[in-house]
C-alpha cells in the first residue's frame, strides 16, 4: 500500500501531513502528486470528497519551499469558484506549510481591498483568489502575474456553471506561457475539455472514478411528493422535509439542506427554526463575515442544519456531515453529484434524501442518467396524514354556514316582530307598497284572460327555499328584486 512517504514529498511537508493524522493518500493524491512534483501539467478528474485539494497543495508547498516572492508578483496562483472554497484552500496551506516559511494572500469578495493590497505589496508565495476579485486587483494595477510559476484551477466545472470561463481564459493569457498548470474538476463538460486542450501542455491525466459518479459510501433515496392543494404546496413540502428529518432519528447528527433558490433557503431555514430545529441559512447574498460565521458554527456543531444554495455545494470539506437533503431536485444534474458529496467523505458512511415533485421529472431523469443508476424510491412519511387532511375538509363542509342560510335568516328577520334597524324600515315599507301594486296589476291581467298571468299563478316556486324566501341575497335586498317572489307566495 502506498504511503505519503513514497511520494517524494519534502520531510517538512511529510511531518505536517503526519501531524494532521494522514498516512495513506487517496487515489487522486497518489496519481497526481508524482507528476506534479516532476513539473508536468496535471489534469485531475475525480468525484468530490476524494482529496483533490491536497493533490495540488502538497506538491506546491514542496516546490515553493525554495525561493522567495517579490512585491506584487506572486509565485503561484490558485483559482477557486467560490469564497468558501478559496478560504478552505487557504486553511489547507496553513496546515501543510506550517513547517515551511511561505506567505499567502486570500483575494475574495467581501473583504477590504486595502488589507489585501498590503499583503500583495509585501510579496506572497501563494495567491488564492476568485476570478472576479483577482481581475479587480489586476485592473487597478496592484498585481502582476508575470512571476507565476504554478497555476491551479480548482473545481473547473463549477467555474463553467458560474460563467467564469471567459475570466479564466483571460487569466491564462496574463500568466507566463512556461508556467505549470494543475487543472482539477469533478466532471468534464465539452467546454472544459476545450480549455484543457488549449492551455495544458501534454498533461498527465489522472482519472480515479468514472465521470460524475457518486461515492459508493453514500446511501441515496428519493421521496415522491404530490401537492394536494396548490395554495398549500410549499408548506406541505416543508412539513415533508421535517418528517424526513425526524424519520432519520438519532442517525441524523447534522445535515445540509439544499434549495435551488436563495429565497427558498431563507424560507426553509426560518420554517425549521420556528419548529424547534437548530438551522441557519447560507447563500451568496449574505455578507462574507456572516457566511464564514455560519460555516464555522456548522463545523463546530453549534448549528445542526445548514440550509444552503449551491454556493455551498462545491469543495467544502466538512468531514462529519451525516445527511444531505435535497429540498429541490437540482436544475443541473452535475450539481446533484456535488451536493451529495458533502456527506460520505474520506470513506465515511453518508445518506442523502431528495424530494421530487411531478414537475421535477425532467431534471430527475437527467440526474439518474448522469449517475448511471435509478435512485431508490422511499415511502412518503406523510402519505397517510395527507389523505386524512384531504378528507377532513369534505366532512366539515356541510356544517359551514352558506350564503343561502344567511338569506333565509335575513328573510325571516324581516318578517319577525323584532324592531328593525333604522336603515331597514324604509326599505321594508317600500317593498310592501311595490308588492301591493304588483298584486293589483296581476289580478287585473288575470281577469282579462292573460296567459302570462295564468302561467305566473300556476307555476310552482323553484329553488331550495321552496318559495319561503329569497336565497343568497343577504339582509339588505332591494325591494324591486322581491316583487315576483312576493306575488307567488300570496297566490
Domain boundaries defined on the chain = 4-207, 218-387, 424-439+477-491
How many whole angstroms separate alpha carbon 426 and alpha carbon 413?
15
Instruction: Spell out the per-residue pLDDT of the chain, length 491, in tens.
Output: 689 999 999 999 999 999 998 889 989 999 999 999 999 999 999 876 678 899 999 999 999 998 888 889 999 999 999 888 898 899 999 999 999 999 999 999 878 888 899 989 999 999 999 999 999 999 999 999 999 999 999 988 888 878 899 999 999 999 999 999 999 987 788 889 999 999 999 999 998 866 566 778 899 999 999 988 888 999 999 999 999 999 999 999 999 999 999 999 999 999 999 999 999 999 878 887 888 899 889 989 999 999 998 876 565 677 789 999 999 999 988 789 888 988 887 678 899 999 999 999 999 999 999 888 899 999 999 876 644 444 444 333 343 333 443 333 343 333 334 444 444 444 444 445 555 444 444 444 444 444 444 444 444 444 444 444 555 555 666 666 666 554 444 44
How many whole angstroms separate alpha carbon 172 and alpha carbon 30?
27
Instruction: Report pLDDT for 307.
Output: 95
Cα-based angle 7, 12, 16 (whole degrees, multiple of 5): 85
Instruction: Report pLDDT for 392.
Output: 40
Instruction: Report pLDDT for 458.
Output: 42
Instruction: Report pLDDT for 70.
Output: 87
Sequence-ordered list of residues with C-beta below 8 angstroms from that of 482, at least 6 positions apart, any chain: 431, 435, 470
* 439 alpha carbon, distance to own chain's centre: 72
Reported as type and span, the H/E element at residue 196 is: helix 190-199
- Phi and psi torsions of 249, nearest 5°: 60, -140
Write 264-270 long-range contacts (CB < 8 A, 24+).
264/327, 264/328, 265/307, 265/308, 265/309, 266/307, 267/234, 267/238, 268/238, 268/241, 268/307, 268/327, 269/305, 269/307
Q: How far is CA 430 from CA 412, 424, 481, 486, in A?
A: 17, 10, 12, 13
Instruction: Walk across the sheet containing 104-107 and list its strands.
Output: 104-107, 126-129, 76-79, 150-153, 180-185, 42-45, 204-207
Instruction: Report pLDDT for 46.
Output: 82
* 491 alpha carbon, distance to own chain's centre: 70
Which triple of cell numbers denotes residue 314?
Answer: 462545491
Which residues does residue 150 pair with via DSSP β-bridges, in sequence order? Answer: 76, 180
DSSP, res 460: P
Contact 76, 60 (CB under 8 A): yes
Reported as type and span, the H/E element at residue 185 is: strand 180-185
| Cα dihedral across residues 420, 425, 430, 436: positive or negative | positive
Helix, coil or strand: residue 421: coil
CATH of 218-387, one of 3.40.50.300, 3.60.15.10, 3.40.50.620, 3.40.50.12160: 3.40.50.300
How many whole angstroms separate alpha carbon 489 and alpha carbon 253?
74
How many whole angstroms separate alpha carbon 420 and alpha carbon 363?
65
Which residues does residue 355 pair with via DSSP β-bridges, in sequence order? Answer: 223
Contact 449, 467 (CB under 8 A): no
Residue with cell 512556461: 178
How many whole angstroms separate alpha carbon 295 and alpha carbon 301?
10
Contact 15, 155 (CB under 8 A): no
Helix, coil or strand: residue 268: helix
Instruction: Report pLDDT for 160.
Output: 84
Reported as type and span, the H/E element at residue 340 is: helix 333-340
How many whole angstroms separate alpha carbon 20 and alpha carbon 92?
10
Helix, coil or strand: residue 127: strand
Sequence-ordered list of residues with C-beta below 8 angstroms from that of 409, at least 6 positions apart, any chain: none
Residue 230, sorted as left (phi over 0), alpha (psi -120 to 50) or beta, turns out to be alpha
Residue with cell 437533503: 325
Instruction: Report pLDDT for 318.
Output: 79
Contact 343, 322 (CB under 8 A): yes
* 369 alpha carbon, distance to own chain's centre: 21
The superfamily CATH assigns to domain 4-207 is: P-loop containing nucleotide triphosphate hydrolases (3.40.50.300)
CA atoms within 13 A on the CB side of 388: 4
Cα-based angle 399, 400, 403 (whole degrees, multiple of 5): 130
Residue with cell 483577482: 134
Amino acid at each position: 500500500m502506498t504511503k505519503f512517504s513514497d511520494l517524494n514529498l519534502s520531510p517538512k511537508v511529510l511531518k505536517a501531513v503526519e501531524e494532521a493524522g494522514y498516512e495513506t493518500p487517496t487515489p487522486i493524491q497518489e496519481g497526481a502528486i508524482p507528476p506534479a512534483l516532476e513539473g508536468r501539467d496535471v489534469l485531475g478528474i475525480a468525484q468530490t470528497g476524494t482529496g483533490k485539494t491536497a493533490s495540488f497543495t502538497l506538491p506546491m508547498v514542496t516546490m515553493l519551499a525554495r525561493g522567495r516572492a517579490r512585491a506584487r508578483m506572486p509565485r503561484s496562483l490558485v483559482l477557486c469558484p467560490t469564497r468558501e472554497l478559496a478560504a478552505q484552500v487557504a486553511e489547507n496551506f496553513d496546515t501543510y506549510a506550517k513547517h515551511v516559511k511561505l506567505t499567502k494572500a486570500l483575494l475574495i469578495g467581501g473583504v477590504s481591498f486595502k488589507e489585501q493590497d498590503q499583503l500583495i505589496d509585501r510579496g506572497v508565495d501563494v495567491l488564492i483568489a476568485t476570478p472576479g476579485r483577482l481581475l479587480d486587483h489586476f485592473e487597478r494595477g496592484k498585481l502582476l502575474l508575470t512571476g507565476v510559476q504554478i497555476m491551479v484551477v480548482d473545481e473547473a466545472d463549477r467555474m463553467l456553471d458560474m460563467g467564469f470561463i471567459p475570466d479564466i481564459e483571460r487569466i491564462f493569457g496574463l500568466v507566463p506561457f512556461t508556467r505549470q498548470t494543475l487543472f482539477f474538476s469533478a466532471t468534464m463538460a465539452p467546454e472544459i475539455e476545450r480549455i484543457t486542450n488549449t492551455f495544458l501542455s501534454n498533461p498527465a491525466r489522472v482519472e480515479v472514478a468514472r465521470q460524475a459518479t457518486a461515492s459508493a459510501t453514500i446511501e441515496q433515496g428519493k421521496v415522491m411528493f404530490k401537492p394536494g392543494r396548490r395554495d398549500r404546496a410549499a408548506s406541505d413540502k416543508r412539513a415533508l422535509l421535517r418528517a424526513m428529518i425526524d424519520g432519520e432519528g438519532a442517525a441524523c447528527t447534522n445535515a445540509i439542506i439544499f434549495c435551488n433558490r436563495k429565497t427558498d433557503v431563507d424560507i426553509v431555514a426560518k420554517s425549521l427554526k420556528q419548529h424547534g430545529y437548530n438551522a441557519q441559512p447560507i447563500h451568496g447574498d449574505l455578507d462574507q463575515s456572516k457566511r464564514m460565521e455560519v460555516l464555522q458554527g456548522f463545523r463546530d456543531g453549534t448549528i445542526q442544519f445548514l440550509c444552503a444554495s449551491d454556493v455551498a455545494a462545491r469543495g467544502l470539506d466538512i468531514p462529519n456531515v451525516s445527511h444531505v437533503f435535497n429540498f429541490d431536485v437540482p436544475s443541473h444534474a452535475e450539481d446533484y453529484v456535488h451536493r451529495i458529496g458533502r456527506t460520505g467523505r474520506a470513506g465515511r458512511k453518508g445518506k442523502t434524501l431528495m424530494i421530487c415533485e411531478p414537475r421535477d421529472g425532467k431534471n430527475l431523469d437527467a440526474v439518474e442518467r448522469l449517475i448511471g443508476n435509478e435512485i431508490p424510491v422511499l415511502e412518503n412519511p406523510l402519505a397517510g396524514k395527507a389523505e386524512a387532511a384531504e378528507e377532513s375538509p369534505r366532512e366539515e363542509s356541510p356544517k359551514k354556514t352558506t350564503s343561502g342560510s344567511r338569506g333565509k335568516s335575513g328573510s325571516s328577520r324581516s318578517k319577525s316582530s323584532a324592531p328593525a334597524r333604522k336603515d331597514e324600515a324604509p326599505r321594508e315599507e317600500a317593498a310592501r307598497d311595490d308588492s301591493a301594486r304588483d298584486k293589483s296589476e296581476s289580478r287585473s291581467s288575470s281577469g282579462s284572460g292573460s296567459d302570462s298571468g295564468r302561467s305566473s299563478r300556476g307555476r310552482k316556486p323553484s329553488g331550495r327555499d321552496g318559495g319561503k324566501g329569497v336565497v343568497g341575497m343577504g339582509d339588505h335586498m332591494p325591494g324591486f328584486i322581491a316583487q315576483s317572489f312576493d306575488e307567488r307566495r300570496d297566490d
